Structure 1
Amino acid sequence: MANPQPSTRQPVRAAAAAFIGTMIEWYDFYIYATAAALVFGELYFPSEDRFVSTMASFATFAVGFFARPLGGLIFGHLGDRIGRKKALMTTLMMMGVATVCVGLLPSYASVGMLAPVLLVLLRVVQGIAVGGEWGGAVLMAGEHAPEGRRTFFASFAQLGSPAGLILSLLAFRSVTSLDKADFLSWGWRLPFLVSAVLLVVGIMIRLGVNESPEFEKLKDQRRTLKLPVAEVFRSSWGLVLLCIGANTIGIAGVYFTNTFMIAYTTQYVGITRSLILDCLFAVAIIQFLVQPLAAWLAERLGGARFLKWAATAAMLSPYPMFVLVQSGKVVPMVIGIAIAVVCMASFYSVIAGFVSGVFPTRVRYSAISLSYQVCGAIAGGLTPLVGTWLAHHYVGQWWPLAVFYTCLAGVSLLCIVALDARRHEHAHDEAAAEALSVR
């Protein structure tokens, strides 16, 4: 009677651990994003031109994204070779330590060029850590899931993103009430230092989760690969490219509606920092509530069909968003940003389970990590930079930004259509081969 109990509890425990772990990782990642929009330009890249400082600050933000594919390769290899759990424990430690170190970092005024150099190095460590985190968290939840529930259980790893965003916005909202001198001197550091507490909590929770049963079965059968990444490039590079494109709006949309929107509204619309953070906090709560509902609905409609509808809606969403944001009033701004975020978050919630089902178990960690993190480097890292450039060159005009967002969603839609076609083609080929074998 003792044996069934762990197996019935582990799916829920694995989903909870994926949620808590990714929440902590994304909290760390988002507080950096918020600080990049609010303070890093002034403290670490001082310039007489605010545009130059902001672009330099967002460039360090992008560095973390460019480091993410490296993290995906390293921890994808380790996750497919020695296990998902060990890889995830390491990524959590790396992220927590790097984040606390950012909170202790002296400014440019204190140590000169050493300050931005160290900031970039710590951002690289953050990027490597989160690059290995996502794939492992999705798989630990999805591979523990009951039969037919992969999409819903994998969505708990995705739920960590809005939860981390809510925590990061709460943390920064509490310190932006300080006067500017105190905020720039020490207030902005507090959200980073709090990460030390979250790190301990995350480690304790993850220690209670067993290794993925699908990986354990693969290991018992001695079917693990020595170089899983090489096998991905050999047999699945086309699928990887499609999955990179498919993830676009789920990743880029987050940093467009959060990181870039902070800089855009404070510098071009005249909104105060506290007001836009309040709006984003309200929208983050909406996102947190929408994502599990979207995953539940996708299980009933079918993942591919749901993703096509969500991507199409995302293509249309930036136009009402910008019209309402231009009002500068709280309620219209919340409604406008929420329209875009609901479409994006619905897509983001489901894409993890959909993509993880595309690849076989023996290369799954490497393949989905590579797909997601390369997309993160391109779409996530460059989106705030492209948005800032467009806003600077088309001052007073929001339509170029809306068209840019539509193009991002369009890329995802086209790739989902192609992946769905490939999946049906593969299923047809398997059925034909089975029919021939029967004959």
Structure 2
Amino acid sequence: MAGDKTLTLRDSNKAARPINDRSHPVSPSQQTTRQPVRAAAAAFIGTMIEWYDFYIYATAAALVFGELYFPSHDPFVSTMASFATFAVGFFARPLGGIVFGHLGDKIGRKKALMTTLMMMGVATVCVGLLPSYTKVGLLAPVLLVLLRVVQGIAVGGEWGGAVLMAGEHAPEGRRTFFASFAQLGSPAGLILSLVAFRAVTSMEHADFIAWGWRLPFLASAVLLIVGIFIRLGVNESPEFEREKQMKRTVELPIAEVFRNSGTLVALCIGANTIGIAGVYFTNTFMISYTTQYVGVTKSMILDCLFVVAIIQFLSQPLAAYLAEKLGGARFLKLAATCAMISPYPMFIFVQSGDRMSMIVGIALAVICMSSFYSVIAGFVSGVFPTRVRYSAISLSYQVCGAIAGGLTPLVGTYLAHKFTGQWWPLAVFYTCLAGLSLVCIVALDALKHRRADALDAVPSR
């Protein structure tokens, strides 16, 4: 009898009991309290690793890939070919969003996230081991492109799952704050990648080209192990489990999204614009703009962006906390409005060419943009029903990433060349990006209120 009683107790508390302590089980209330924190931490660590891998590729593409994998008598051609492989990652992201959105809505968020983390980590380590063009010829750039596609698919599937694991584990009324930890991984990954390459670029140039550049990629193996260990400690999303138990999952989630939520997806694509485009405007484009048109050195603007990345990392959690107090929609409208204004003081400060002035100017724009970015994930995840949520928000975010992330630096470069010596067209362009997000947030908020009013109007039985 005692054995049967112990077995029953063990079975009923299997999910909550520590592995090595059978005499003092963890109560369901304790487990419920711990899981949201674990889920938020796992979302942050996982997305940090994914974005670290994504950003170190971008840095290597600018510094070494042209020389090693696309050798040419013209350095411009080599650099352009190298950046083309970087762009491939953007175009692969929507595919990753669709594939892993489907898997996340069908078999679970946790399994999809474990797969994306493995894909990204293995692909990144393989890049660090890849022989150069001089060793294997055309096979080298072909394999590099294939590995970049894998990276793009992985990061495309990562974001939606990380947001949902954190947000769907969150306590009542705290989805916005907990989901923001997935967004915090982007600046953290950027900081980590900058630190990693700052360390190896201090080597002798010959050593850096020969093997030093590979170290940040190989270090991803350690990060991968850490990420897997942390994610294993997080339970499946309780909201997904509820849908599964009630048999409300659908065969083709993405098909239902297109059939029933096309307008919402389009608005979410637009709503994400400044959060994604703003990053590539204030980072990727700003490097070329300041070095070519303001006359500052590359090391100076990189130092400025490093400081700004730290400011972004510190400001995003505060923005998510304030959004909980003000309301997600209201805060996003305020952040988008501030983002529309921010490029004008930014360019005034940047034009001075002074280090501190540039940090202040770029930080002003980044704080507005990143505040929006921090909160938008939790907001859009609440727009869609649980059974198709992974597919819907992944599609929205990754399509926006492919368009806004890929085109913003190109449009900025064209405007800077077309209006040489004038910064106002660039500021107007940035204002339009933020304005598009503001319009879409207003429309989404109106639709949510209309839907709520319609539900209230249905008589209870």
Q: TM-score, normalised by structure 1?
A: 0.94
How far residue 338 of structure 1 moved from its aligned partner, in angstroms, is 0.6
Higher relative contact order structure (alpha carbons within 8 Å, sequence separation ≥ 6): 1
Residue in 1 that maps onto 2:350: 325
Partner of 2:23: none
- Separation in 2 of the partners of 1:8 and 1:209? 12
Which residue is equivalent to 1:133? 158
Q: Secondary structure at the match of 2:458?
A: helix
Amino acid paired to 2:211: W
Provide the residue aligned with 1:222 in structure 2: 247
For structure 1, which segment, 397-406 or 148-157, has the greater mean C-alpha deviation from structure 2 after superposition? Answer: 397-406
Counterpart in the other structure of 2:307:
282
User: How does 1:221-260 map onto structure 2 within 5 Å?
Assistant: 221-260=246-285
Q: 1:87 to 1:164 in 2, by over 3 A?
A: same
Instruction: Name 1:422's counterpart in structure 2.
Output: 447
Instruction: Kindly indicate whether the alpha-carbon contact (under 8 Å) linking 1:176 and 1:274 is maintained by their aligned counterparts in 2.
Output: no
The whole-number CA distance in structure 2 between the counterparts of 1:401 and 1:162 is 24
- Aligned residue in 2 for 1:167: 192
Letter in 2 for 1:77: H
SS where residue 235 of structure 2 aligns?
Answer: coil
Question: Matches of 2:207 and 2:426 in 1, distance apart?
Answer: 34
User: What does residue range 270-419 of structure 1 map to in structure 2 within 5 Å?
Assistant: 270-419=295-444
How far did 1:52 drift? 4.8
**Structure 2: how far apart are the matches of 1:407 and 1:287?**
22
Cα 1:318–1:119 shift into 2, 3 Å: farther
How many Å apart are 1:396 and its aligned residue?
A: 4.1
TM-score when normalising by structure 2: 0.89
SS at match of 1:186: helix
The CA deviation string for residues 385-423 of structure 1, in whole angstroms up to 9 with x for no partner, is 333344445444433333322222121111111111111
Q: Encode CA deviations 1:191-229: one digit per residue, 9 max, x unaligned.
A: 111111100100000000000011111111111111111
Cα drift, residue 97 of structure 1: 0.9
Change (3 A) 1:34 1:394: farther
Question: Counterpart amino acid of 2:372?
Answer: F
TM superposition shift of 1:322: 2.5
Query: What corresponds to 2:56 in structure 1?
Result: 31
| Structure 2 equivalent of residue 11 of structure 1 | 36
SS in 1 for 2:213: helix
Could you tell me how far apart the structure 2 residues matched to 1:83 and 1:401 are?
43
Aligned to 1:262: 287
Residues 420, 53 of structure 1: CA spacing in aligned structure 2 closer, same or farther, 3 A cutoff?
A: farther
1:100 Cα deviation (Å)? 1.3
Change (3 A) 1:43 1:304: same
- Aligned-partner Cα distance in 1 for 2:313–2:323: 16
Contact in 2 for aligned 1:72/1:373 (Cα 8 Å): yes
Counterparts in 2 of 1:308 and 1:42: CA distance versus 1, 3 Å: farther
1:208 and 1:228 mapped to 2: Cα distance?
Answer: 27
Superimposed CA distance per residue, residues 145-204 of structure 1 (whole angstroms, 9 cap, x where no aligned partner): 000000000001111111111101111121222344433333322211111110010000
| Contact 1:84–1:212 (CA under 8 A) maintained in structure 2 | yes
In 1: Cα distance, 2:203 partner to 2:281 partner? 27
Q: Distance in 2 between matches of 1:398 and 1:56?
A: 29
Contact 1:321 1:337 (C-alpha < 8 Å) held by counterparts:
yes
Query: Match of 2:280, as an amino acid?
Result: Y
Q: Aligned equivalents of 1:323 and 1:286: distance in 2?
A: 20
Which moves more between the two structures, 11-20 or 418-427?
418-427
Q: Secondary structure at the match of 1:226?
A: coil
**Structure 2 match to 1:209:** 234
Q: Greater shift after overlay, 295-304 or 175-184?
A: 175-184
Aligned mates of 2:301, 2:114 — CA distance in 1: 35
Seen in structure 2, the aligned counterparts of structure 1 residues 122 and 396 have a Cα distance that, compared at 3 Å, is farther
Q: Percent identity?
A: 83
Runs of at least 4 residues off by over 6 Å: none
Gaps of 5+ in 1: none
**Larger of the two Rg values belongs to structure:** 2
For residues 60-71 of structure 1, what are the structure 2 equivalents within 5 Å? 60-71=85-96
Pair 1:367–1:261, CA change in 2 (3 A): same
Residues 326 and 172 from structure 1, CA distance in 2 versus in 1: closer, same or farther, beyond 3 angstroms? farther
Q: Which residue of 1 aligns with 2:142?
A: 117
* CA RMSD between the two structures: 2.0
Q: Distance in 1 between matches of 2:93 and 2:126?
A: 19
Bigger drift between 319-328 and 133-142 goes to 319-328
Distance 1:260 1:38 in 2: 16
User: Which residue of structure 2 aligns with residue 150 of structure 1?
Assistant: 175
In 2, the alpha carbon distance for the partners of 1:429 and 1:51 equals 58
Q: Mean Cα displacement is larger for which, 254-263 or 335-344? A: 254-263
* Compared CA separation, residues 132 and 180, structure 1 to 2 (3 A): same
